[in-house]
Structure 1
Amino acid sequence: MNSCSIREWEKISFGTDSDPITEGQADRLAKVARQSVFSGSSGEGVLEHRRKHLRARGVVGVIAATDCQLEILPKIEASGEHDAAPETLRRRLVHMLSVARDLRIDAQNTASLGWQRDTLLEILIRIFCNKMTEAVRHGIPRRYIAHTDDLPALRGRLNITRQFSVLAAQPQHLACEYDELSPDIDLNRVLKAAISKLSRVATAADNLRSLRELSFAYADITDVAPSALRWDRITLDRTNDRWRELLSLAKLLLGDRHQTTNSGASGGHALLFEMNVLFEEYVTKLLKRGLAGTPFTATSQGGQKDCLFEGEQGRFRTRPDIIIRHHGEVVMVIDTKWKRISPRIEDAKQGISQDDVYQLMAYSELYKCDRVMLLYPHHHGLSGIPQQQAYAIGTAEAKRKLLVSTIDVSLNQSLITASLVHLVTTE
Structure 2
Amino acid sequence: MAAFSVLEYRSLPRGDGPGCIPDLMADRLAAVAKASTFAGRGERGVLEDRRDELRARGVVGVVAAEDCSLEILPKIDVPAADGSIEERSEIRKRLVHMLAVALDMKIEIGLLSDLEWQHETLLEILIRIFCDKLTEAVRRGMPRRYIGHEDDLPALRGTLDVPRQFTRHAVNPGRLACRFEELSTDIALNRIMKAALAHLSRLSRSIGNLQRIRELGFVYADISTVPVPALRWGEVVIERTNRGWQDLFEMARMFLRNQFQTTNSGAGQGTALLFEMNTLFEEYVGRLVARAMAGTEYRVSLQGGREYCLTAQDSGRQVFQTKPDILIRRGDQVVQVIDTKWKRISCRIDDPKQGVSQSDIYQMMAYAHLYKAPRLTLLYPHHTGLLGGDGIQGQFWISGQATTLETVSIDVALGTDDDIAARLKKMIVPKNGEHLWSLS
Cα offsets for 1:134-186 (capped at 9, x unmatched): 11111111100001112222211110011112332333321110101111111
Written as runs of structure 1 = structure 2, the 5 A alignment for 1:31-70 is: 31-40=31-40, 45-70=45-70
Written as runs of structure 1 = structure 2, the 5 A alignment for 1:3-402 is: 3-18=3-18, 20-40=20-40, 45-78=45-78, 81=81, 83=83, 85-106=87-108, 108-111=110-113, 114-256=116-258, 258-263=259-264, 266-310=268-312, 311-388=315-392, 389-395=394-400, 398-402=401-405
Higher relative contact order, structure no. (Cα contacts within 8 Å, ≥ 6 residues apart) = 1
SS across alignment from 1:71: strand
Aligned residue-pair number: 424
1:409 to 412, 416, 420: 412
Counterpart amino acid of residue 3 in structure 1: A
- The answer to whether the Cα contact below 8 Å between 1:34 and 1:44 also exists between their aligned partners in 2 is no
Q: Report the CA distance between 1:43 and its aligned residue.
A: 11
Q: Output the TM-score relative to the length of structure 1.
A: 0.95
SS across alignment from 2:409: strand
Mapped to 2, the partners of 1:293 and 1:42 lie a distance apart of 35
- The answer to whether the Cα contact below 8 Å between 1:259 and 1:271 also exists between their aligned partners in 2 is yes
Mapped to 1, the partners of 2:83 and 2:201 lie a distance apart of 34
Percent sequence identity is: 50
Cα offsets for 1:287-312 (capped at 9, x unmatched): 11111100112121111111100142
The CA RMSD over aligned residues, in Å, is 2.0
- The answer to whether the Cα contact below 8 Å between 2:3 and 2:68 also exists between their aligned partners in 1 is yes
Mapped to 2, the partners of 1:162 and 1:107 lie a distance apart of 55
Counterpart amino acid of residue 391 in structure 1: F
Q: Report the CA distance between 1:415 and its aligned residue.
A: 2.2
Counterpart amino acid of residue 393 in structure 1: I
- The answer to whether the Cα contact below 8 Å between 1:78 and 1:379 also exists between their aligned partners in 2 is no
Mapped to 1, the partners of 2:30 and 2:155 lie a distance apart of 62
- The answer to whether the Cα contact below 8 Å between 1:79 and 1:383 also exists between their aligned partners in 2 is no
Q: Report the CA distance between 1:225 and its aligned residue.
A: 2.5
- The answer to whether the Cα contact below 8 Å between 1:392 and 1:400 also exists between their aligned partners in 2 is yes
- The answer to whether the Cα contact below 8 Å between 2:14 and 2:23 also exists between their aligned partners in 1 is yes
Distance 1:82 1:366, change over 3 A: farther
Mapped to 2, the partners of 1:208 and 1:42 lie a distance apart of 32
Distance 1:290 1:17, change over 3 A: closer
SS across alignment from 1:239: helix
Cα offsets for 1:314-366 (capped at 9, x unmatched): 11111111111112421111110001111232522111110000000101110
Q: Report the CA distance between 1:28 and its aligned residue.
A: 0.8
Mapped to 2, the partners of 1:133 and 1:42 lie a distance apart of 36
Distance 1:43 1:287, change over 3 A: closer
Q: Report the CA distance between 1:19 and its aligned residue.
A: 5.7
